[in-house]
A and B are shown apart, each in its own frame.
Chain A
Amino acid sequence: DTAVSQTPKYLVTQMGNDKSIKCEQNLGHDTMYWYKQDSKKFLKIMFSYNNKELIINETVPNRFSPKSPDKAHLNLHINSLELGDSAVYFCASSQDPGPRVIQYFGAGTRLSVL
C-alpha cells in the first residue's frame, strides 16, 4: 500500500499541450509538496500546501498551477507545455510544515515534452 502515489509514472506529450499529474498520500499528513528534478539532477521545491493552503510558491512560471482538493491530494496542472518542462516531478508529504520533519516522496513522474 504505497504511502505517496503519483500518476502517471510516465508522461510523453507535445509542446503546447496541457497536462496534469496527480498525487495522493495515505499517511494522514497535513503538508504536501511538488519538486522538480531537472537534467542537472537538482531536486528543487516548487510548491507546498499545508491543510490545503499554499505556503511555498517558488519562482515557477504561472503555467504551473497546483490544486489541493483536500489534505490527502495535491495535483499539478501544467498549461502550454514547453520543451524545458521536461523533467521528473516528485510529490512529497510530511506530517507538518515544521523545521525538523521528514518528507516522504512518491516515485516520480517523468515528463517528456516533444
Chain B
Amino acid sequence: DQQVKQNSPSLSVQEGRISILNCDYTNSMFDYFLWYKKYPAEGPTFLISISSIKDKNEDGRFTVFLNKSAKHLSLHIVPSQPGDSAVYFCAASGINGAGSYQLTFGKGTKLSVIP
C-alpha cells in the first residue's frame, strides 16, 4: 500500500532546462512534505519542504508546489545543472497509529541532467 507515489522512476533533462519531478499521495492526513536528494553511496539530504497550509515554497533554483485537492506535489528545478543529477525522494509527514509522527517516502525518481 504505497501512500506516497513517484510514478516516474527516471527523468532526463537538458542542462539549463526545467526539471519537474512529481509526487502523489493518498493519505489526506499528511500535513508536511519534503524533498530529499540522494547521490550514490550517500544518504538522502534534505532539499526543500512545504507545509500543507501553503501551495508553493521557493528556495533558489528549487520550487515545490502543493495541490492539496489533487493530493499532488511537484518539485521544479530551474535551470537544471549537471550536479543536480541524483535520485529525488518525495516524503510526507503524518501521524501513525501509535501517535508518533513519521515520514513516508516514495520510491524516488532518478534525474539525469545532460550537459
**7 closest Cβ pairs, A-B complex:** A105-B43, A43-B105, A99-B101, A102-B46, A100-B32, A55-B100, A105-B44
Q: How large is the interface on A (under 10, 10 to 19, 20 to 34, 35 or more residues)?
A: 20 to 34
* Shortest beta-carbon distance from A17 to chain B in Å: 24
Which A residue sits closest to B110, measured CB to CB? A41
Known interface pairs A99-B31, A99-B32, A100-B32; A45-B43 also in contact (CB < 8 Å): no
State the A residues within 8 Å of B (CB): 4, 40-45, 48, 55-57, 90, 92, 97-108
Which B residue sits closest to A99, measured CB to CB? B101
- Contact yes or no, B89 A107, CB < 8 A: no
- B85 near A: Cβ within 8 Å? no
- Contact yes or no, B108 A41, CB < 8 A: yes
Known interface pairs A41-B108, A45-B103, A56-B98; A99-B43 also in contact (CB < 8 Å): no
Which A residue sits closest to B42, measured CB to CB? A107
- Contact yes or no, A100 B93, CB < 8 A: yes
5 extra A-B contacts, CB within 8 A, seeds A41-B107, A90-B43, A104-B46 = A43-B44, A100-B51, A102-B46, A105-B44, A107-B43
- B74 near A: Cβ within 8 Å? no
* Shortest beta-carbon distance from B3 to chain A in Å: 11
For B93, what are the chain A residues with a Cβ–Cβ distance below 8 Å?
99-100
Say whether chain B's binding surface is mostly helix, strand, loop, or mixed.
strand
* Shortest beta-carbon distance from B108 to chain A in Å: 6
- Contact yes or no, B44 A102, CB < 8 A: no
* Shortest beta-carbon distance from A104 to chain B in Å: 7
- B95 near A: Cβ within 8 Å? yes
For A43, what are the chain B residues with a Cβ–Cβ distance below 8 Å?
44, 89, 105
- Contact yes or no, A99 B95, CB < 8 A: yes
- Contact yes or no, B43 A108, CB < 8 A: yes
- Contact yes or no, B44 A90, CB < 8 A: yes
For B44, what are the chain A residues with a Cβ–Cβ distance below 8 Å?
43, 90, 105
Known interface pairs A4-B43, A99-B93, A108-B43; A56-B103 also in contact (CB < 8 Å): no
Q: Report 25 cross-chain contacts, Cβ distance below 8 Å, ordered by A residue.
A: A4-B43, A40-B107, A43-B89, A44-B105, A45-B103, A45-B104, A48-B100, A56-B100, A90-B44, A92-B43, A98-B101, A99-B32, A99-B93, A99-B95, A100-B51, A100-B93, A102-B49, A103-B103, A104-B46, A105-B43, A105-B45, A106-B43, A107-B42, A108-B41, A108-B42
